Amino acid sequence: MIKKVVVRGGHNFQTAGASGIIDETTEDRKVKSSVIKYLKLGGCTVIDGTPGNCSENADLNFGTNTANNNHADLFLPIHFNKCYNSYNGKIGSEVWLNPNNSTSVAVGKRIMSKLVGLGFKDRGLKDGINGEHLHDIKASNMPSVLIEVCFVEATEDVALYKKIGFDVVGKAIAEGILDKKIGTSTNVTPASTETYTVRLSYNNKKSQLISTSDLYEAKDKANSHPSYSVYNSKGQNVYMLKGSPIPETYRIRLAWNDEKSQIGEIYTDYYQAKDFANLHVGYNVYDSKGKNLYTLAVVKPVVPNTDIIYRVVAGSFKDESGADEQIVKLAKLGIESFKTIK
Ligand SMILES: [Zn+2]
């Protein structure tokens, strides 16, 4: 029975893997993290055997040493493959192992059938001992299964991978290893009832792309939408794609320091903010640093009390005499009007 697994993403960013439409090292780490998540949900002890930046030899030894030192039941390196400079169509998934090890073969077959179930082409189980002499298969003391999820240059492989997402791929691999269905984080761990939303800013509910209990799913969404962040239910920004431009936000207040006077939303669209301020005399549009970007021209009060403006039936005035004049004009037209103080 498989109870302890060492999982590693292939290669590292110093001695990087293959690159095509997608980048092997980048993607294998996503799948690796997902496999670890689901194996844990499935009740496994999991150790991450992925190294940081290092030479190729150090990289290879780090993985197998981690597996051997921890006496894992299974060593699982995850890779993406490449064969051509470019390829139009599908190539598929491969699983490399020691064909003489019955556990490896059983696990490998289950993983392959799961990947095929997702739509990847079956390239079969490959001999990593007699054929390719793969370090990961030879130097590990336990059953070892090396997965090549799909080919980074094959248009249909990549399209499928992107469509289903790394999290689904990782879940399928974990279910193949444990030979059982693994629930999502919501129905397995009661602790994970957090809800994550992907928005431009937390208060900008309209910008929301997704609401999910699955942080990986939320991060994946944010990764494909620059400027969007992942927020937890308390409104804390828990993730944003590195290098993503932080969107400017606009607030409507009577004065920047008067936070309580804030009305409307925290806008990411300046023109929306301006429109809203136009409907609320006396209010200004501020950027995130408190710079006043817009004030409706006629409404800035000259009286010390910023809350007071004088209104007549057909207009607003910044001073009382303007209101009085209007009342006289309207009276001449036979219209009775009055002042109100806001
Ligand atoms: Zn590789």
> Is residue 245 a part of any domain in this protein?
no
Q: Please tell me the distance between residue 131's alpha carbon and the centre of ligand 1 in angstroms.
A: 16
Q: Please tell me the distance between residue 21's alpha carbon and the centre of ligand 1 in angstroms.
A: 15
Q: Please tell me the distance between residue 228's alpha carbon and the centre of ligand 1 in angstroms.
A: 31
> Is residue 43 a part of any domain in this protein?
yes
Residues 202 and 147 in one domain: no
The CA dihedral of 278, 282, 287, 290, to the nearest 10 degrees, is 180
Domain of 297 in residue numbering reads as 250-341
Residues 76 and 154 in one domain: yes
Q: Please tell me the distance between residue 152's alpha carbon and the centre of ligand 1 in angstroms.
A: 10
Q: Please tell me the distance between residue 24's alpha carbon and the centre of ligand 1 in angstroms.
A: 7
Residues 25 and 104 in one domain: yes
Q: Please tell me the distance between residue 59's alpha carbon and the centre of ligand 1 in angstroms.
A: 12
Angle between helices 166-178 and 155-164 (to 10 degrees): 80
Number of independent structural domains in the chain: 3
Q: Going edge to edge, which strands form the sheet with 210-212?
A: 210-212, 196-199, 229-231, 237-240
Q: Please tell me the distance between residue 31's alpha carbon and the centre of ligand 1 in angstroms.
A: 13
> Is residue 62 a part of any domain in this protein?
yes
Closest CA to 59 of 96, 28, 95, 22: 28
Beta strand residue intervals within the chain, DSSP E = 4-9, 45-48, 74-81, 93-97, 122-127, 146-151, 196-199, 210-212, 229-231, 237-240, 250-253, 263-267, 284-286, 292-295, 310-312, 315-317, 340-341
Residues 63 and 166 in one domain: yes
Q: Please tell me the distance between residue 240's alpha carbon and the centre of ligand 1 in angstroms.
A: 28
Q: Please tell me the distance between residue 147's alpha carbon and the centre of ligand 1 in angstroms.
A: 9
- By DSSP bridging, strand 74-81 and strand 4-9 are parallel
| pTM over cut 0.75 | no
Q: Please tell me the distance between residue 172's alpha carbon and the centre of ligand 1 in angstroms.
A: 20
Q: Please tell me the distance between residue 81's alpha carbon and the centre of ligand 1 in angstroms.
A: 6
> Is residue 72 a part of any domain in this protein?
yes
Q: Which residues surround ligand 1, an ion (CB under 5 A)?
A: 10, 17, 79
Distance of CA 335 to the CA centre of its chain: 61
What pLDDT, on the 0 to 100 scale, is given for residue 298?
55
Residues 169 and 63 in one domain: yes
Residues 262 and 231 in one domain: no
Residues 196 and 286 in one domain: no
Each residue's pLDDT expressed in tens, for the chain with a length of 342 residues: 899 999 999 999 999 999 999 999 999 999 999 999 999 999 999 999 999 999 999 999 999 999 999 999 999 999 999 999 999 999 999 999 999 999 999 999 999 999 999 999 999 999 999 877 899 999 999 999 999 999 999 999 999 999 999 999 999 999 999 999 998 654 444 445 688 999 988 888 888 998 888 887 788 888 888 788 999 988 888 888 776 666 788 999 999 999 989 988 888 888 888 888 877 777 899 998 899 998 876 544 444 555 555 444 446 666 777 777 877 877 777 666 666 665
